[in-house]
């Protein structure tokens, strides 16, 4: 059985002071559970604050929202995979829709980031998803499969299980629109079948969690998790509220 994964992407929200306040409220409500994995992904400036605040809660992982494609050098404002790992990150988002469509990151960058994350002991959450016009044109499967293949192109088949996958339809992110559980389930099945081909083992692919992201709330979390092949949630806005977040991770 795949253990569900709940990942909170705070995006450009929650500075160090706010992070300490969040942890105080959240940890008072959420007690350690062995049947799920919880990940907090703060902005880089709050990473070490969150790591320190979770010193006694090793059951909760901390992630980076982004890493650079190079190991070091004159890249002002960027963070390398090795630096992220040294600072306490264990997970990193790769290919998030905002990186793709706001910052213009191509599939080639996503491939490098996935590869360099694995090399440095970070678990990448590779995000894939279609825009509204792609969905309406009937190219959802074509789009997410291209992104999946590209993102994993630099990783040996035997190492693909070190990657988590998240399906986040762009049209549902921050819009209040959510994919129907059946729709999410269908895309997840398509992705898992392709993972089997890339891993050269359907059995191996069956063990890789695939998360859903896109206007997830404490109200719709249970329905989404009840859909077939939905193994967790990548949550944005609702994860900024420690009460709502504790309800989601306890679903």
- State the alpha helices, DSSP H only, in the chain: 16-29, 47-53, 81-86, 97-101, 107-119, 132-136, 140-151, 181-199, 202-205, 221-225, 242-249
Q: Taking a C-beta distance cutoff of 8 angstroms, is the pair 152, 114 a contact?
A: yes
CA-atom Rg of the chain in angstroms: 17
Residue carrying structure tokens 């062995």: 34
130 has catalytic annotation: no
**SS3 assignment, position 104:** coil
Partners of residue 60 on adjacent β-strands = 38
- Asked if residues 168 and 213 have their Cβ atoms less than 8 Å apart, the reply is yes
End-to-end CA distance of the chain: 17
Q: Is 188 a catalytic residue?
A: no
Of these residues, 68, 96, 98, 130, which one is catalytic? 96
- 98, 105, 130, 168: which is the annotated catalytic residue? 168
Close Cβ partners of 200 (under 8 Å, ≥ 6 residues apart): 157
Tell me how far apart the alpha carbons of residues 22 and 25 are, in angstroms, rounded to a whole number: 5
Dihedral sign from CA coordinates of 235, 241, 244, 246: positive
Distance, in Å, from the CA atom of 72 to the CA atom of 56, rounded to the nearest integer, reads 31
Q: Just list the catalytic residues.
A: 96, 168
């Amino acid at each position: 059985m795949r253990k569900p994964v709940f990942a909170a992407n705070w995006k450009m929200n929650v500075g160090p002071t706010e992070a300490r306040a969040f942890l105080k409220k959240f940890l008072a409500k959420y007690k350690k559970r062995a049947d799920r994995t919880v990940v907090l992904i703060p902005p880089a400036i709050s990473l070490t604050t969150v790591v320190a605040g979770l010193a006694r809660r090793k059951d909760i992982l901390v992630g980076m929202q982004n890493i650079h494609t190079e190991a070091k050098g004159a890249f002002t404002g960027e963070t390398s995979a090795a630096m992220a790992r040294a600072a306490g990150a264990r997970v990193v988002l790769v290919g998030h829709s905002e990186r793709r469509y706001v910052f213009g990151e191509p599939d080639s960058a996503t491939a490098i980031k996935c590869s360099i994350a694995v090399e440095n002991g970070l678990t990448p959450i590779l995000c894939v998803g279609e825009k509204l016009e792609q969905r309406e044109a009937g190219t959802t499967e074509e789009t997410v499969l291209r992104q999946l293949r590209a993102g994993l192109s630099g990783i040996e088949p035997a190492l693909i299980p070190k990657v988590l996958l998240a399906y986040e339809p762009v049209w549902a992110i921050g819009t209040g629109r959510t994919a129907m559980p059946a729709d999410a389930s269908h895309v997840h099945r398509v992705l898992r079948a392709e993972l089997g081909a890339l891993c050269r083992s359907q059995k191996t692919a069956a063990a890789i969690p695939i998360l859903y992201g896109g206007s997830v709330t404490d109200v719709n979390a249970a329905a989404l998790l009840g859909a077939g092949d939905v193994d967790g949630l990548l949550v944005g806005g609702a994860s900024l509220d420690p009460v709502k977040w504790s309800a989601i991770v306890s679903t």
